[in-house]
Amino acid sequence: MERAKMPHSDMQLRSLTTWQWIILSAAAAPMLAVGGLGAWGTYTNMKTQFPQDATALGVVAAGEGATLVLAMVWVGLTLLDQASPTVVRLGLWLLPAIASATGAVVAESTKEAVVYAMTPMAMCASAEGIGLMARRIVVYRTGVDMEARRRNARTMQRLAVQRALSENHPWWTSRKWAELRSWRLFRKVGVGNDALGADLVIVQDQQVTSAAGLALAAMFAPKEKPVTPALEADQERAGSVTPALEAGQERAGSVTATVTDSGVRHGGNAGSMDTVSAAVTQVSAGMGHAPSRDTGTVAEACCDGVTVSGTEPVTETVTDQEAVTGQTVTDTKPPRPGAAMTLEQLAAVANVPTPLPGTYLTDEQLRVVLRHFRHRDDPPRSYRKAVAAFRDEKFQGGEERVRPIWNELMKSEGGDAQEAEEEEEEEASA
């Protein structure tokens, strides 16, 4: 049968340097001296009370000697990569107390009781100090702290039991107490584990490095210029359209006609007459098409005393500023600001994060949301309807923030005082 591999057999052992050996030896020498003096003093005290030498030696061996034995056992188990039993760890605390209590009891006066109680502590402290130093040397060389692993293993075992009780116990009171105890045990996980602490430091360094890289990338990245998503409102109201006439191979000349406004439209009180030169452009339908009517003199009498006359032959006459493509007349109007654009598109154009319902909105995000709700329908919504839709969609924002931003939005879109008064009248009627 193949021998099982030790969990730490592949670990490289660290060796102590010469200076470390010298310093540790110099620290251990006083411990041994203090322990010997404490044992000799205790023996002298007991010899005063008990004339027999065997009795005095027995008291010293039972107190300081037993403490020294337990310290050596602790060192030996540490060298074998094993945890010390509870009895050993408990004895290292109880035996010095018993030795001190024995010295205080056998004393004849209060002064002697204090001296007899303090004397055994010298050898007990020496034994425990030597044992702790030996344990730390083993941890330094192997990198394994068996006592810390023992504590963590015990904590994890208790934690697993408490979590199982908190989830599957039939009594709800037991589940509640088990959950509370499990949270208390969480605070002890990893305590004293140097390897875990080193790993956490490495993870933290990686996170800090990554965050610093992202911050530098965002700092030195070129900024993109925001694109205006909407046209000015005055262009929308004007509805001006640039005429697009398809250029044909048989384009004829233009005719300049005289339009006379005699003031009939405005009544007989008009005292002035204006002469306006109107351009009538001849458009050819293309090669191979017959004219819609015979060429000749064109004279059309318009209503309200306006007469348009021309002497050039035309095939098709365009009298309005409309786009003509072939023989189809189309009227193109600029889109409304924010029309046919989603909230995500408006946020991207404004270079702000997409506003989400139920979250705090900055002023720029709030302006994007109000623009979206105003121009989502045709015609644009009023303040009351836009705010109602704003509330229905669960967006957050008080009246003291929404109203000023709405006024700025109306001002940027060219809204006049009459439109604001109409909204106020609509709100009052509602």
pLDDT digits (tens, 9 = 90+) for 367-425: 888 888 888 777 787 888 888 888 888 888 888 888 888 888 888 877 654 565 566 56
- Say what the pLDDT of residue 336 is: 52
> Which alpha helices (DSSP H) does 312-398 contain, by range?
343-349, 363-374, 383-392
- Say what the pLDDT of residue 177 is: 93
- Cα dist from 218 to 47, 90, 206, 211, 214, whole Å: 82, 59, 18, 11, 6
Q: Provide the token pair at 1.
A: 């049968």
Q: Provide the token pair at 161.
A: 């039991």
Long-range contacts of 246-249 (CB under 8 A, 24+ apart): 246/283, 246/324, 246/325, 246/326, 248/283, 248/284, 248/285, 248/286, 248/287, 249/284, 249/287
Distance (Å, rounded) from C-alpha 255 to C-alpha 258? 10
Q: Which of 108, 118, 100 has the alpha carbon at shortest distance from 63? A: 100
pTM here? 0.39
Q: What is the DSSP letter of 269?
A: T
- Say what the pLDDT of residue 3 is: 44
pLDDT tens profile 165-223: 988 888 999 999 998 988 888 887 777 666 676 777 788 788 888 888 888 888 887 77
Q: Which of 85, 84, 116 has the alpha carbon at shortest distance from 98? A: 116
Q: Which of 334, 345, 400 has the alpha carbon at shortest distance from 372? A: 345
**Kind and range of the H or E run holding 426:** helix 417-429
Q: How many CB atoms lie within 10 A of CB 82?
A: 11
Cross-strand bridge partners of residue 280: 255
Distance (Å, rounded) from C-alpha 259 to C-alpha 16? 113
Cβ proximity of 261 and 276 under 8 Å: yes
Look at residue 141 and give its three-state secondary structure.
Answer: helix
Cβ proximity of 70 and 92 under 8 Å: yes
Q: Provide the token pair at 310.
A: 């021309």
Look at residue 276 and give its three-state secondary structure.
Answer: strand
**Cα 37 → chain centroid:** 64
The stretches in the chain having pLDDT less than 70 are: 1-12, 192-195, 197, 224-340, 415-430
